[in-house]
Amino acid sequence: MATLADAQAADLPIKAKAIEYVKVCSLYGAGFWYIPGTDTCIKIGGYLRVDSTFNGGGPHGQPAWSGDSGQRNRYFDNFMSRSRMALQIDTRTATEYGVVRTYAQGDFQFNNFGTSNPSGFGGASIPGGLSGTALDGVGGGYVSVEYVFIQFAGFTFGKSASAYATPWQGFPSNISSFLMGGQNTDTGVNNIQYTAQFGNGISASIGLDDPSVWDRTAVYNLAVGLNAVGTSGYAYGGSHSPDIVGNIRVDQAWGLFQISAAAHEVDASYNILGAGGAPTNLSEISGHPDTKWGGAVQAALNIKNLPTGPGDDLKIEGSFAKGDSKSVFSTASSSPNFAMFGGSSGGAYQSIGFGATTDAVFLPGINGGTGDLKLTEAWGTRGSFTHNWDPYWNSSIFGAASWMHYDGSSTDITSAKGQYCAQYFASNKLAGNVSADFSCNPDFAVYQIGFNTRWTPVKGLTFTGEVQYVRLDQNFSGTAVLTPSAPKPAAAYQFKDQDTVLLQIRAQRNF
């Protein structure tokens, strides 16, 4: 019996180690939980989004204002689609210095390019260096990084929204990623910034932004020549100084008011460049224009709790930039140049409207110019009004206006406009090939207005339909024999304002 009792005792189970269950962290809002064994809270979320754009140049609401879509040629796809999943990871830890936060968002995405043109499709440049063929193929797609940053004691380090930007970025109420009229860094810019809180919703931020991606349009060395739609090779130099940005903000129950400012360095590469702005063996010894500083200012207002209904709001902002046009002609991609074609009168083959978005132009002295950088100017405004019909439906009207200006007159060779027009006339061999009423003026404006309606049948799931109208107001006049990019022929084109309309639909599930 004693032997049996010993054997039974040996078979008794060993006491299991206590299970450490996941605990809810209520310090930072819904969705956070403690990482087991630590005092760090984490939240994992994101969204899945499906977009389709009809009569546009991009799947995320780009108007048909350039490329094959602007030409309206046979390579243009009448519709484009994109499917994306965003994964967001947010961690926070309370310390004696305040909360230490890390945040990251990665996008898993597939979309088509909206063109079958062999000259642009197979070699299209996309994030990660993949070719257009790889992206558009079966099972293709790519992963991109939006935000990756650390916050500590008021400082932010990494890829985050610029201190210059408004909280709504380029989306006062639209889903299109191409509403201009102000600044946009909605996928983050490499920066270091510091924010001071003064109480009662008043704060101030200052930061240093990497300008190479989000804060540059183009510098043109006019000696390289201008093509039929007024653009040339990229002649910016390297990034030698960060953009200095900052804001003062008042954020209270009635809404928000913010004033922002930025200083931006404009530096060119060389006086002698080859085709497309590529360097040659003469570039380094040819010299370069002196660097100049430009900048931008912005004021923004958001009014909440309007008498029109619960949750209704109004947003409006205005911007001015000199040598920093990306602060006005800003999209979720690079600043666009515009080249649109349409019907004509007076015997011309077609009409054409274009606009070149630049930070500066210069014509070296050896080519008859003044040799210095001529900073260009831009103004912009955009805004929206949103009305909630009930807890499930809301509608918004939004709009923007953006203006580009080259100083001087077309006959003043010492000015930006005069040097630009002289080179456009010479590059396109217009002597004897223009109408009697031809005039050159590279100033232009882009006007946008749109309307959308959202339906949210259940929490976190929203369906949106959006229509946008775009008008390109260009300032050339008359007709000229031009050779635009293929497949357009060399023919007489009438300079004329252009317009386009697009429809975008979206289904999005937030989690």
44-57 exposure pattern, b = at least 16 Cβ within 10 A, e = fewer: eebbbbebbbebbb
- Per-residue pLDDT of the chain in tens (511 residues, 90 and over written 9): 444 455 454 555 555 555 567 899 999 999 999 999 899 999 999 999 999 999 998 778 999 999 999 999 998 989 999 999 999 999 999 999 899 999 999 999 887 766 666 665 444 444 444 444 445 556 667 788 999 999 999 999 999 999 999 999 999 999 999 999 999 999 999 999 999 999 999 999 999 999 988 899 999 999 999 999 999 999 999 999 999 999 999 999 999 999 999 999 999 999 999 999 999 999 999 999 999 999 999 999 999 989 999 999 999 999 999 999 999 999 988 889 999 999 998 789 999 999 999 999 999 999 999 999 999 999 999 999 999 999 999 999 999 999 999 999 999 999 999 999 999 999 999 999 999 999 999 999 999 999 999 999 999 999 999 999 999 999 999 999 999 999 999 999 999 999 999 999 999 999 9
Residue 399's DSSP bridge partners are 383, 449
Residue 477, token pair as written in the block = 């006049």
Residue 112, token pair as written in the block = 């088509």
Pairing of strands 350-355, 491-495: parallel
pLDDT of 494 reads 98
Residue 372, token pair as written in the block = 């210095």
Residue 304, token pair as written in the block = 């909440």
* Distance from C-alpha of 146 to C-alpha of 157, rounded to nearest angstrom: 14
**Spatial CA neighbour of 214 closest among 193, 245, 235:** 245
**Spatial CA neighbour of 230 closest among 374, 499, 443:** 443
pLDDT of 317 reads 98
End-to-end CA distance of the chain: 63
* Distance from C-alpha of 217 to C-alpha of 327, rounded to nearest angstrom: 9
Q: Provide the residue type at 281 as one letter.
A: N
What's CA 182's distance to the chain center, in Å? 10
Residue 479's DSSP bridge partners are 494
Element (H, E) at 395: strand 393-405
Backbone angles phi, psi at 169, to 5 degrees: 55, -130
* Distance from C-alpha of 161 to C-alpha of 146, rounded to nearest angstrom: 10
* Distance from C-alpha of 94 to C-alpha of 184, rounded to nearest angstrom: 31
